[in-house]
Amino acid sequence: MTPARPGSGNPAPADRVTAVEVFFDLVFVFTLIQLTRVLEEDLSPDGLGRVLLLFGILWWMFDGYVWLANHVPPRVPAQKLLLFVGMVGFLFAAVAVPDAFDGTGLLFGIGYLVVITVHLSLFTRAGIGSALSRLAVYNLGSALLVLVGGFVDGAARYACWLAALAVQSVVPYLVPRISWVRVLPLFRLQPEHFVERHGLLVIIALGESVVAIGMGVDTAHVGVGTVAVIALALALPAALWWTYFTDTRGAEERLAATGTERTRLALRVGFAHIPLLLGIVVAAAGIHAAAAHPGEPAGWRPALALAGGVAVYLAGIVGLRRTLHSAPVLSRLVAGVAVLATVPAGTRLNARAQLVAVVLVLAVMLLLDRRRSNRPHSQPRRLNSR
């Protein structure tokens, strides 16, 4: 492993994900569950817009913690305690998510300010504090805009939070002298930790979506249709899991083989996870609606949420494969189109029929992948069993 730089406070950089990081991810995934709840209650363009805005703000800082733990693993008690404080901030923000644009905007802003303050405090141990301090103004400015948004109402709150998202995720790329492009090469990025951390987040997000869906099933009227939906509610996330983890070994190898461009490539990998997680949120809202009324024709919005969420997830897989040049993307593109074509099955037949169709599309895609990998002269990719 690469030796730590002086002042880093750690004997070595991250190699694998620590238990406290998994705990941290569990708290963050609660924000995704809350975003799914928002979408379930308002499956409209306005509801989707609010989900996108809140997700963008929260995701930027979560991935910032991923980079933080990759560079400075939380091994000593002081670091772990600070991470727990960061979890409190994310929990405040998550609790506030359902009514963030109404009565709990201030709680959301306070939680977000805690998240950013802890992040900057922990980075003082990273050995790149002087370089990072030039960028701290962006994150702090974003946190203050989110906090100010909690004090105002209506369009002003939307404006503040849109500005906050732009300040932290867009502006740093537009200022040449103080930009992430200059800071990224200073990170000692460890591919195994980076890929595993994002993979664990995907597992937890998929698992929590299953739990949320299962809790929403009407057990007072259990029949064959309900049992089928329960099975499909697991089969669909399982197929999404398999689709993602087919590629993780190749991602580790590709990042490990990259030299000076490793951090920039890793940044693009992180961005590719945005549609992956958004897809899980949107698809979970669609599955929940299907589980509530499995034998009835679905409205076009729930049907589109189910198919669109899976298609967006597959688009994230395409982004990962294109970024890493690790595997062909045609099968994922075709599957995404085929999944979108299942919307009429939901609206004209019933939600259960659409679930069956979506699962079948993913199953055929994975079976064809398996057949190709078993052909002579092919090089099969191993599944990451972690």
Q: What is the pLDDT of residue 199?
A: 93
Q: What is the pLDDT of residue 179?
A: 61
What is the C-alpha end-to-end distance of the chain, expressed in Å? 21
The Cα–Cα gap between 175 and 172 comes to 6
Residue-range domain boundaries for the chain? 19-186, 195-373
Q: Name the H helices within the chain.
A: 19-41, 45-71, 77-96, 105-123, 129-151, 155-169, 180-183, 191-215, 224-245, 248-257, 262-292, 300-324, 330-340, 343-344, 351-373
Q: Which two tokens stand for residue 227?
A: 């049992």
Q: What is the pLDDT of residue 250?
A: 84
Per-position DSSP letters for 331-362, written without gaps between them: HHHHHHHHHHTTHHIIIII-HHHHHHHHHHHH
Q: Is 99 helix (H, G, I), strand (E, B) or coil?
A: helix
Closest CA to 240 of 289, 306, 313, 318: 313
- pLDDT means per 10 residues, the chain with 386 residues, are 41 74 94 92 92 94 90 87 95 96 94 93 68 74 95 95 91 68 73 92 89 70 74 89 90 84 87 94 88 81 94 96 89 96 93 92 92 61 41
**Which run of H or of E encompasses 126?**
none
Q: What is the pLDDT of residue 86?
A: 95
Express each pLDDT in 332-364 by its tens digit. 999 999 999 999 999 999 888 999 999 999 999
pTM: 0.88
Q: Which two tokens stand for residue 6?
A: 């002086």
> Which residues, other chains included, contact 364 with Cβ-Cβ below 8 Å and sequence gap of 6+?
335
Express each pLDDT in 368-377 by its tens digit. 988 877 765 4
Closest CA to 164 of 86, 112, 129, 117: 112
Question: 195-373: what fold?
Answer: I/LWEQ domain (1.20.1410)
Q: Which two tokens stand for residue 317?
A: 């897989």
Q: What is the pLDDT of residue 51?
A: 95
Closest CA to 215 of 23, 37, 35: 37
